[in-house]
Structures are given as C-alpha cells and as structure tokens.
Amino acid sequence: MLPQSPSIASKVDILIVDDEPTNLRVLSTIVRSHGYQVRQATSGIVALRAIRIQPPDLILLDILMPEMDGYQVCEQLKSNSQTRDIPIIFLSSLVSGMDKAKAFQLGGADYIAKPFQIEEVLARIDYQLTLRTLQVQLQHKNEQLREQNEQLKQEMKIRQQTEVELRLSEAQLQARTQQLQQALDELKLTQTQLVQSEKMSSLGRIAAGIAHEINNPIGFIYGNLDYASEYMKVLRNIINLYNQHYPQPHPEILNTIQVSELDFVLQDFPKVLESMQVGAERIRDIVLSMRYFSSGEQAYTQQDDIHKGLDSALVILQSRIKEQTNRVAIEVKKEYGEIPSVNCYPGQLNHVFMNLLSNAVDAIEEKLKILEEPFHPVIKICTQLSNSSKECQDQNIKWVEIRIVDNGIGIGPQIQSSIFDPFFTTKPVGKGTGLGLFISYSIIVEQHGGQLLCNSEIGKGTEILIRLPVEVPQAVKSGYH
C-alpha cells in the first residue's frame, strides 16, 4: 500500500455519512487531522444531494440510519455511472457474516466494525485511495494505449509502413493490455477471496459460540431426564400401593383424581419424558456437529474421520434437507465404506463438504421449480478406499474416494469444464459468487494433493467425486500457508 503524501492528501475529498453527531464529529476530526478534506452528511438523503453537487473521492458510510440506510445509499450510487466508481467503506456495529456479505455484494469496497481503531480507519482509507489511484492510472494507461494504437494506424496509412511493422506493434500493444488486465483480475480475485475467507471464518465463530451457549443447559436437561424417569416410576408405584390398600379414599381425593385425570397423567407422563429425551438428544447432536464444524483452521495436518465431517455438514444443513412448505424432504442415502482416517486439514474439508452438499440442495430445488410431475429428491453420499488413480503416476498412494450424487437439475456439457473457474456460476445474479467450487478445488487439489471431478447431465443430476490421499504429500505440506 502506497501512503498518501501530505500534498496529495490535502486534495482528497472524503464524505463522512453518519446520523450520530458525536460519531460524525470525532471521525471528521481524526480524518481532517491527517490532511484530508472532509465533508459531513447526517443522513443518506443529505449524502446523495452532496454527492450530486460534487462527487467525493471516498465515502465513509454508516449502515444504520433512519429514512434511508447505508445499503440503500450504496445501491443508488452503484446504479449511477457517474458515482459507481467511488470507493465506499462501510462503518457499522453490525458484525455478522451476513451483514458484511451484503455490504460487499452491493459494491462496498471495505467494511469496518464499530467501535473502530483510529489506525485501522486511516490505513483502510489510505489503501482504498491508493487502489482507486491505481485503477485510474490503469484506465488512463489503457486510454493512452488506445490512442497510440490509433496513431499507429494513421501513420500506417500516411507513411505506408510495411505490414510486418504494423503486426509487431499490434502484438506488443495486445500483450501490454493483457498484462494490465491480468493484474486487475488478480487484484479482484484476491479481494474476493479475502471476503469469502472472512465470511467462512465468521460462520465458524458463530457456530462455536452457539454450540458453547447451548451445551451447558442441554447437558443439564439431558442428564436429569433419567432421574425424572426414575422419580416418576417411584411415584407411580406409591400411587398403585395407595389404590391397592386404600380402595375407598376420601371423597375430596376422589374428586381431585377425576378433575386431574390421574389415569391419563400416569399413562402420558412417560411419553412426555421420552419425547423430551429424543429432543434433547437431537439438540446434543446438533451442538456436537456445530462444535466439530467450527473446530478452526489448522496450519498443520492431523488425522481426521471423513465420515464425521460429512455427518456434521448434513446436521447443519438439516433445515434445508427436511420437508418444506413447498416441497417434500430430500432423502439422504449414506453408503459409507470402510475407510481409514485421513491426514488432512479438517476445517478446510468441512468447508468443501458444506459447499458441495449445499450446491446439491440448490440443484434439487431448481429442478423442483420447473418440474411438473412428482419427483423424489435424493442426495447419495458414497465413500470407499482406492489403491490407485488413473490421473496419478504413483500407484502406491492409497486414496479415499467421496462421491456426492444428486438427482437435481444437472449441468450442461458445454460448461462443465468451467465450473471450477473463479467467478463462474450457473446460479442467478445475487445467488452465488462463483467462488464456492473454485475454493473447493483449491482446497482439494492444491492443499491436499487430491482430485475434484464432476460428471453431470441436464435433467438427471450431478456426481462430484473427491479423491484424497490418505497421507498428504510432503511437497503439498511444505507449500501450505
């Protein structure tokens, strides 16, 4: 990141939008003290008016504001060709992964959580201004290159230069343009990968927090159900003894028994306890799955049970798999073979399983939207141990194969070769980033030395095959960061 010099900073116009006067005053003082020109707006509507009069170089935008929130302001600016390139840094006390994802989805350049650190705010402002300067320079350079190209063509017509010289000039120009475009694409890819990484990290922290909060009370409930059941048996035996030895109780007791429906209570209470135990066991399974899924991102490999990772992903996705108001439940068939523990990065593999299973559910839901006749949705998960792979020259490596098969809408053959490319997606706009399969491919192939293959047919479904070596190759281990 290139620091802004005082002379350049004094020419930078920054608009700060916040409905809290105290926040606005403090933040304006900090930014102005570092040489930047500062304008203020106390609402989204005022901000839009100020931007129409004089577009700023950068906007610090609060999200939670009355009348028009920060998301709406950003959406209007990005829909206008004159303001869409202004970098927007969101400032908000909202820290969930969904809030951050929405901010970046609408075109935000960065996101700073309140309460913020002064150094962080200034560093991110400096970074976005530097990035914007580089983009402007790139556009200017491209314009210069286009002008040079036109000049070369004009000189060719005037001077009747040889065809060889013209082709050489065009080739050099094209190579330079491709280099600049590649640099811009790499910058965009890096930024989007950081967003995806932060989103998955936030999901893991949320899952760990929920699991921790639920674990103690559900443990207390689950641990006391056996005692409650035993106490019920004792009370029931005592009541039976009273009925046996005192067949003619007091009229008040008889009346209370009839009003309270004691016979029904004695029959139904064990069922209530049984239902409570089933529910408690279900919550305990969910908690264990969430804790496993959020086990963290290790910088080293460890032995892990692949089946446990698959099952934890299925538990977390249960709300999408079970019966919905507009569709039947998705049947999950597990055909697990006898496979050894795999030396891997468990947190990374959990993200892959979540991505692939979520895509399978998406494909089935898309098919249900367009299919008129009855349809039984199925996701099948198969695992087995394989001694070799056609794509691997070392026949001594043992592989664990995981197949995730759905009978969803399927993928056409003309695009199957592109599904692992960055930013490529078959989903509608706003439904996918095109990074899920790309990141999954990177985790399996680059970080584990494995293989990720796809076989699909329109209307019939998709099969994703994961091949993982039982031991991560040493070359892959040493290259992982």
- For the chain, residues with pLDDT lower than 50 are 1-3, 7, 296, 429-430, 433, 478-481
Which residue is it, tokens 């899952």? 207
How high is the pLDDT of residue 188? 67
Whether residue 115 is preceded by a cis peptide bond, meaning omega within 30 degrees of 0, is: yes
* Prediction pTM value: 0.45
The domain limits of the chain are 6-131, 318-479
- 27 burial level (CB within 10 Å; 0-12, 13-18, 19+): buried
Is residue 235 within a helix (H) or strand (E), and if so which, with residue range?
helix 163-245
- For the chain, what is the radius of gyration of the CA atoms? 31
Is residue 41 within a helix (H) or strand (E), and if so which, with residue range?
strand 37-41
pLDDT digits (tens, 9 = 90+) for 146-169: 888 888 778 777 777 677 777 887
pLDDT digits (tens, 9 = 90+) for 264-302: 888 888 887 777 777 776 676 666 656 655 554 555 678
Domain 6-131 in this protein, CATH class:
alpha beta
Q: What backbone phi and psi angles, to 5 degrees, belong to 200?
A: -65, -35
Identify whether the C-beta of residue 114 lies closer than 8 Å to the C-beta of residue 70.
no
Spatial distance between the Cα atoms of 109 and 199, rounded to a whole number of angstroms: 15
Could you give the percent of the chain with pLDDT greater than 70?
Answer: 80
Identify whether the C-beta of residue 70 lies closer than 8 Å to the C-beta of residue 63.
yes
Spatial distance between the Cα atoms of 28 and 39, rounded to a whole number of angstroms: 8
| CATH of the structural domain 318-479, one choice from 3.30.565.10, 3.40.50.10380, 1.10.10.10, 3.40.50.300 | 3.30.565.10
At residue 382, the 3 state secondary structure works out as strand
Q: Read out DSSP for 53-70?
A: HS--SEEEEES--SSS-H
Q: What backbone phi and psi angles, to 5 degrees, belong to 341?
A: -65, 145
pLDDT digits (tens, 9 = 90+) for 35-63: 899 999 999 999 999 999 999 999 999 99
Spatial distance between the Cα atoms of 85 and 78, rounded to a whole number of angstroms: 7
**Helix ranges, 246-341 (H):** 251-260, 262-293, 306-316, 318-321
| Strand stretches in 299-448, DSSP E | 302-304, 331-336, 342-344, 378-386, 399-406
Q: HSE-up of 277 (CA within 13 Å, CB side)?
A: 13
Give the number of other Cβ atoms within 10 Å of residue 260's Cβ.
10
